[in-house]
Chains A and B, each alone.
Chain A
């Protein structure tokens, strides 16, 4: 039975990031995109927390150093909430204007 260490956290984070990216890339629904973004952000949060516990070599850090990463992740969560609120407001406006939230169809700036 191996000890749970930094690589595990990073692996989970990477998987979560990849899923988030996959979601962003593949989904056309704007809400689904936001959800992908949330996944990416949370992957980052996991990294923050993980690196607040371990240094790059996997050696556990002292307690006093742990708070920095955790505070950063809480900050990201707050920002993510704000972002979700703003983004949903934008999506709502897009829907009102284009009558769809399919981002493929909202490409007026392209031409």
Chain B
């Protein structure tokens, strides 16, 4: 087997090994060791919001103002050494376990095994990426073929070929290595490594990990394993298996603080919402499998390219693509399944960085990229529309959020919408590019917010304040003086996400916007125009809300000076990941010229748009009469003359993007980039005017409930409320009522009917018994009695009578036998 595949397998298995080590060797406190007072709630649970705006979390919590601040168990007092005055008790309020300082030390040392494993994985992933990207690949094969892949047949159903396509059904397991997978390997292992590092400090306090420090690391390892499985799988079955594992790991990690009600609610919500999307994905997989008999992606694409369409109909192909994309809708929190991700912020902040910014939600985009060749034009339009809707909805919600992590959460959803939008408009490499850059700067932002929140916790705990929310930006302000490294790294990441030149986000976002613009130029439909306009609008909104966050958190005067007093910069192990990620948010890892993303190595060589294998009639831009520039045709082409008919669409879009890049100021900024800069700049300016400049009105602390349009946005367009009305309340209640009716009328009817008919039958049987059976018996008896009565008259007891009978008998016999 190729060294890259071997190493990929090693990279896959190592985190699982870490998972096992942490689970087996780690000292776990059973929940029975902890007594958590159900009436006592952690302070940062939004409990003190005066309104019902944050209904979903607030409903589950109550203000903790009356909670005695010394409710913490005696143990935590004992074990603190370096941070003896910094313990905080918002997770486990009453701790009576035997969690000794020795346990703590052991758990802490053990956690470094996992961190070291992730470091090894990162090194191996870098090597694999280097080997893969430097490999020119096989130019004779269609470009959706990975550089190298290996499969083994797991199951082979030779005799089940009953469909219209006569061929065997096989289930293969296999892994691949291509540029996209290799880059994702690096991204996942890198972020995971940094999160491991960050968590060693962030989760260190027993009140943070609740005696489950090693379990936290085990879950991180399990999650990394699942995500890496998706990345290197070369067939839909394995993707689906690891997909579900990712869902499981996210469930475990979001609900890590299961003592509190809000994470319990959030992890269930994430899990269930994801299942909704997975049903669609499963259906899509089954459509392909029943019709094509294989789940290996290259084989699927080969068969589609050869004209074996599911059910021989293009709409079915479109449906298969959209259904597979449904999985991505769930996992990547696309509209309409975008509701779970913001709630998932109930997990520990490093978890948010790992699974809700960089990797898990990237799985959906990655899946869409993997199945990209089989998306028809309609399916891609659907993808683009979903992406655009997600981007605008989430961005608009992020504008008014007051919770630091919530801003980032909605920002994540919005950026994921961008990536999906990019794939939908055919800007494939731009979408993947943005996936990578976003992973870096969003992980940086989340870890940065974790850094801030960590200090806020410390400070609030020091003040014995259980009332104020450590995540609320209205308690922050002016932190840049206290936490300069956190501030600078977060500022760099914010500049990146806003799409400012010299930072990575500019390159990827500009490329996406150019793609949307090109898409609109080629097919100026309503949706294409809407996608284009939304793309630019969201760019401005992103810049606005991100800088609003920076201004509210780090600028201005401290809004709560007592908290501010006790804020310090975090230890090195926490800020080091921030610095690494901030450096990776600069332009330099992705291209030499910060102003020319198309010339960067990522777009020019690393990731190429795979050819579309759908029939020519349903390919994107199929109906558009557009000149196909032949000189731009990629070198990799499938054999035969089919290539001409198969490949025009990505050439069209690439040509148009190229054309757009030559507009504006050539070599410095193209027209899409200029417009994007303008929009982002005005967003930042607006944010500065409203929140940044000294004495800005937005800096004034306002605890009133938002009103009007702000309330609408703050409450997430009432999407959750709507879903709650529709699904749990409306649909489920309706279903319950229907089922109750069914139960009462049909089931009970059947039961009662059975009962009644049994009674009826019993009556009939009783009648039969009484009148027929007993009648027969009585008849017999009666007959015998009657006969006895009759015969009795003969038995007179007188000899004479008997003699007469004898005589008569003899006479009779005499005459009878005469």
Which positions in A face B, CB cutoff 8 Å? 21, 24-26, 33, 103-104, 107, 109-110
Contact = CB atoms under 8 A, between A and B. Distances in A.
Interface in B695-732: none
B173 to A, nearest CB: 99
A21 B803 contact: yes
B796 interface: yes
A110 B800 contact: no
Contacts of A107: 796-798
A21 B807 contact: yes
B803 A104 contact: no
B803 A110 contact: no
A104 B800 CA distance: 9
A103 B798 contact: yes
A110 B803 CA distance: 16
A25 B800 contact: yes
A36 B803 CA distance: 11
A104 B801 CA distance: 10
A13 to B, nearest CB: 15
Interface in B790-807: 795-800, 803-804, 807
A107 B802 CA distance: 13
Nearest to B804: A25
Contact of A33 (B799, B804, B807): B799
Interface in B767-799: 795-799
Contacts of A26: 800
B795 A103 contact: no
Nearest to A104: B798
Contact of A24 (B795, B796, B797, B800): B800
Contacts of B799: 24, 33, 103
A55 to B, nearest CB: 20
Interface residues of B, number: 9
Interface of B: 795-800, 803-804, 807
A88 B45 CA distance: 125
A83 B796 CA distance: 24
Contacts of A110: 795-797
13 contacts: A21-B807, A24-B799, A24-B803, A25-B800, A25-B804, A26-B800, A33-B799, A103-B798, A103-B799, A104-B798, A107-B796, A107-B797, A110-B797
The 8 A-B pairs with the shortest beta carbon distances in the complex, nearest first, are A107-B797, A110-B797, A25-B800, A24-B803, A103-B799, A25-B803, A104-B798, A25-B804
A33 B799 CA distance: 9
Given A24-B803, A104-B798, 6 more contacts: A21-B803, A24-B799, A24-B800, A26-B800, A103-B798, A103-B799
B797 A109 contact: yes
Contacts of A24: 799-800, 803
A101 to B, nearest CB: 12
B586 to A, nearest CB: 129
Nearest to A26: B800
Contacts of B795: 110
B558 to A, nearest CB: 125
A25 B796 CA distance: 13
B791 to A, nearest CB: 12
Contacts of B803: 21, 24-25
A81 B173 CA distance: 119
Contacts of B797: 107, 109-110
Contacts of A33: 799
A21 B808 CA distance: 12
A33 to B, nearest CB: 7
A21 B797 CA distance: 18
A103 B796 CA distance: 12
A24 B800 CA distance: 6
A33 B801 CA distance: 13
A110 B792 CA distance: 9
A109 B795 CA distance: 10
A33 B807 CA distance: 15
B806 to A, nearest CB: 9
Nearest to B795: A110
A87 to B, nearest CB: 12
Which of A25, A26, A107, A109 has the most C-beta atoms of chain B within 10 angstroms of its own C-beta?
Answer: A25
A21 B799 CA distance: 12
A107 B798 CA distance: 7
Contacts of A21: 803, 807
A77 B799 CA distance: 23
B405 to A, nearest CB: 110
A91 to B, nearest CB: 12
Contacts of B807: 21
A30 to B, nearest CB: 9
A24 B807 CA distance: 11
Contacts of B804: 25
Nearest to B801: A25
Contacts of B798: 103-104, 107
Nearest to A111: B797
Contacts of A25: 800, 803-804
Contacts of B800: 24-26, 103
A26 B803 CA distance: 11
Nearest to B798: A104
A26 B804 CA distance: 10
A16 to B, nearest CB: 15
B274 to A, nearest CB: 96
A70 B166 CA distance: 114
Find the residue from A24, A33, A103 having the highest chain B CB count within 10 A: A24
Give the most central of B796, B797, B807: most A CB within 10 Å: B797
A1 to B, nearest CB: 33
A53 to B, nearest CB: 24
B814 to A, nearest CB: 13
Nearest to A108: B797
A79 B796 CA distance: 29
A72 to B, nearest CB: 20
A33 B798 CA distance: 12
B789 to A, nearest CB: 13
